Amino acid sequence: MRAWNAKPAVLTVAVTGADVFRENNPNIPYTTEEIANHSIEAAEAGATVVHLHVREDDGTPSGRPELFVDVIDRVRKGSELLTMVSTGGANDMTIDERTTGLEAKPDISGVESGSMNFGDETFITPPPAGRGIIEKALAAGIALEVEAFDVGHVVSAVRWLEEGILPPPLRINLVFGVPGGIDAGPEALAAMLRPLPPETFWTVTCVGRHHPRMLGLALLNGAPGVRTGLEDAVYLSKGVLAPSSAALCEMAVSMAHTLGREIATQEQTPELLGLG
């Protein structure tokens, strides 16, 4: 049995998202230049993967492919980060609008394996749409990470793996704390892990006030990866707004070291993710 701290943890940064705005934290990046700069600063703080959404200059979530191309070009010029695009976008986007990031040829694409209530909205990803995103990404040579917000999403992802729709290894981001999804706590983590095959590369994300506790819990449970950034946590600590995603990465790295975990280097990350 491998020790829980045998491998370093990959640190993913999510710098902007689609659901947090400057009224939540004035440091949220909007423009492609701001998003890229925040990503590059996070790389300097220990992140090796960046999860990307794009926005219009006024902060409106966007699906314009030229914005994805611009931000990925900027990130690659300024860092060695692996780039991952969201195909979640915003809840009012069509599936076609949510998949335009694939045109920027990222290293990895996210894909939702189910639908859910998302606060007061309903976020819809029908199974055929999810399978279509997988097919499109694979045809372009883009690796995949499933974004799972509840146990049923995990079960669906494992079924896709068993049916050969998703190629191994399964990469999955377990998201906690979204209103309408699974809550944040030890029992919730155990429930999300239960269906996963042992060779799965799983990452933990937590939205909201339990963010640092869930990252700590994940690291102590041997998580192959953790995710932080202003998309997930607008506060660095209680009442203290995070000045940047880099500051949140520094917090995660410090926590990992305190708990006896190392953070993966950029050179180690592709192998840990199973990217051939």
- Asked whether residue 3 is domain-assigned, the answer is no
CATH of residue 15's domain is 3.20.20.70
Residue 5, in any domain of the structure: no
- Number of compact structural domains in the chain: 1
Q: What is the pLDDT of residue 19?
A: 93
pLDDT at 1: 42
Q: Which residues partner with 225 through β-bridges?
A: 10, 203
In one-letter notation, the amino acid at residue 135 is E
Give the per-residue pLDDT at 92.
85
pLDDT value of position 90? 82
Amino acid at 196: L
Structural domain boundaries, residue 65: 10-273
The DSSP-derived string for 17-45 is -SS--TTT-TT---SHHHHHHHHHHHHHT
Is 225 among the domain residues? yes
Residue at 4 is within a domain: no
Residue 1 forms part of a structural domain: no
Give dist(CA 159, CA 236) in Å, integer. 37
Q: Could you give the CA distance from residue 207 to residue 215 in angstroms, rounded to a whole number?
A: 11
Q: Are strands 240-241 and 235-237 parallel, antiparallel or unpaired?
A: antiparallel
In a domain, 245, yes or no: yes
In a domain, 187, yes or no: yes
Q: What pLDDT is stored for residue 3 in this prediction?
A: 72
List, for residues 51-101, the tens digit of each pLDDT value: 999 999 999 999 999 999 999 999 999 999 999 999 988 888 889 999 999
Q: What is the pTM of this model?
A: 0.97
**89 φ, ψ (degrees, to nearest 5):** 55, -130
Closest CA to 256 of 46, 82, 81: 46
Tokens standing for 232?
């997930």
2 within some domain = no
Mean pLDDT of successive 10-residue stretches along the chain, which has 276 residues: 81 97 98 98 98 97 97 98 94 90 98 94 94 97 98 98 98 97 98 97 97 98 98 96 98 98 98 94
